[in-house]
Structure 1
Amino acid sequence: MSLHFSVLASGSTGNAIFVSDGDQSLLVDAGLSGKKMESLFQEIDRDIHNLSGILVTHEHSDHIKGLGVLARKYKLPIYANAKTWRAMDGLIGQVSTDQQFHFEIGENKTFGSIDVESFGVSHDAAEPMFYVFHQGDKKLTLITDTGYVSDRMKGIIKNSQAFVFESNHDVEMLRMGRYPWSVKRRILSDVGHVSNEDAALAMADVIGDQTERIYLAHLSLDNNMKEIARMSVSQVLAEKDIDVKEQIKLYDTDPNRPTSIIYV
């Protein structure tokens, strides 16, 4: 009954995270095709039939691409806030009303031994939110798709044992890259995505005595690389006297392959 998770996929092409206590299991987002989602579950040796539900962060396609397919095929309940439900109308196909549940920002819901706390982020979606998973004194935070990390967010997520934390882009790669300026401006804005450096500065404020590992997530396919993200975050944390070899460890996530199962 120990809290554990796997980042099934993370990146600009699709996102999904599995969280479980061994009894209740949850999927956060389903941003890949139904077929790919099934294959990712096979890779971590878990059965989609055993899911207790799907938690939605927001309505962008890289978070809901396979949502309707999985919900219909496996009769899974979906949890999202009211504005996100409205924004998903027409995007996920027909989902039975008895599979639609509301989970508003600031609410807590309990699944077995896991208490799930939702919190708002700053992103250009209807009402984007992410989640903190609590089990006793264990704490797992998922936070991506935010243009900045406010003091309010930091207070909620502080001192988690594990973080799945956005490290979306290298600013210079983005500025020099092929995207039109309108897209670059959106990514760099307060409702876009955090850069490697800004992510690291936020991490420095929320890392606590309990923090053991950070998974760098939602890396841009065009404007970042795993090595650059890890190096940038490591440098900033080192400047803040946080040792990424002894005190905490940084881990990669991948857009196509799941991480191993991690026990918090």
Structure 2
Amino acid sequence: MIFCPLFSGSSGNSTFVASNNTKILVDAGLAGKTIEKALSSIHQSPDDIDAIFITHEHIDHIKGAGVLSRKYDIPIYTNELTWKAMSKNIGKIKDHNIKIISNNYINIKDMDIISYKISHDAAAPRGYEICSRNKCACIATDLGFFSEEVKKILHNANVILLESNHDVEMLKFGPYPYTLKRRILSKIGHLSNDDCGKAILNIINNKFKKIILGHLSKTNNYPELAYQTVVNILNDNKVNLNKDINISMANRNMPSNYTEF
């Protein structure tokens, strides 16, 4: 499989995932042309994308979905409540490209996609587990908290894009209004750097994992701070960063962490 966050941050999100015979995007939260250029930079073409899966209706996850669907005849998959919340913001989509996920499991060629519940301030937000030939990748961002369901899904994943959104002190003393700070810190908000590190402790097993920290706030975090906070927590708990796990950072502005596994 191939896994590559094209963009990951508060200003836009999209991840490319491929198996031998299938290629998908999870979210398309930047302009269509921007996503086209990002795909080209990793030697992929939007003509070959089999589907776009949407996690939730916020603009940083759907901005380019409609353009890409119309231009390249790509189906858009999401649940009914999310579709209702997002459809007015992405333009007219052909009926055959509106794919409502009803049972949380989709098969496309040699790829199996599992939709699972996450906690966020959206209509019916979902994360995705993408598997092929006993290899699995997970998208786990926009998490208000690390639930037992999310823990179970991520436990056996090989590659994970995991939210490390904010530093709590930067958020508390930063420029956001109180109501927004309260939302971000709530159980329908975002995982902090500390929350992310603690979450990783709950999914370590005997399977080596590559964990990519993503969806960082531009205002309330820094990549170096997120990375070091998580690494410090793992070190304090005697996690072997060379044997048990690999930690890296997703780039908000360009493709990063291109991984074949």
Q: TM-score scaled by structure 2?
A: 0.97
Could you tell me which residue of structure 2 aligns to residue 68 of structure 1?
66
Could you tell me which residue of structure 2 aligns to residue 240 of structure 1?
237
Could you tell me which residue of structure 1 aligns to residue 186 of structure 2?
189
SS of the residue 1:206 aligns to: coil
The amino acid of 1:150's aligned partner reads S
Q: 1:41-60 maps to which residues of 2 (within 5 A)? A: 41-60=39-58
Alignment partners' CA distance in 2, 1:259 and 1:239 = 28
The amino acid of 2:59's aligned partner reads S
Aligned alpha-carbon RMSD (Å) = 1.1
Q: Contact 1:32/1:65 (CA < 8 Å) preserved in 2?
A: yes
Q: Contact 1:213/1:250 (CA < 8 Å) preserved in 2?
A: yes
Q: 1:1-264 maps to which residues of 2 (within 5 A)? A: 3-104=1-102, 107-264=104-261
Percent identity, aligned pairs only? 39
- After TM superposition, give the deviation of residue 245 of structure 1 in Å: 3.4
Q: Contact 1:83/1:127 (CA < 8 Å) preserved in 2?
A: yes
Q: How many residues align?
A: 261
Alignment partners' CA distance in 2, 1:20 and 1:197 = 31
Question: For structure 1, which runs of at least 5 residues remain unmatched after alignment?
Answer: none
- After TM superposition, give the deviation of residue 137 of structure 1 in Å: 2.3
- After TM superposition, give the deviation of residue 212 of structure 1 in Å: 2.6
Q: Which deviates more from structure 2 when the two are superposed, residues 181-190 or residues 111-120?
A: 111-120
The amino acid of 1:148's aligned partner reads F
Question: For structure 2, which runs of at least 5 residues remain unmatched after alignment?
Answer: none
After the TM superposition, which segments of 4 or more aligned residues of structure 1 sit over 4 Å from their partners? Answer: none
SS of the residue 2:44 aligns to: coil
Q: TM-score scaled by structure 1?
A: 0.96
Alignment partners' CA distance in 1, 2:126 and 2:97 = 20
Q: Contact 1:146/1:192 (CA < 8 Å) preserved in 2?
A: yes
Q: Contact 1:160/1:208 (CA < 8 Å) preserved in 2?
A: no
Q: Contact 2:250/2:257 (CA < 8 Å) preserved in 1?
A: no
Q: Contact 1:44/1:260 (CA < 8 Å) preserved in 2?
A: no
- After TM superposition, give the deviation of residue 167 of structure 1 in Å: 0.4
Q: Contact 2:20/2:110 (CA < 8 Å) preserved in 1?
A: no
SS of the residue 2:89 aligns to: coil
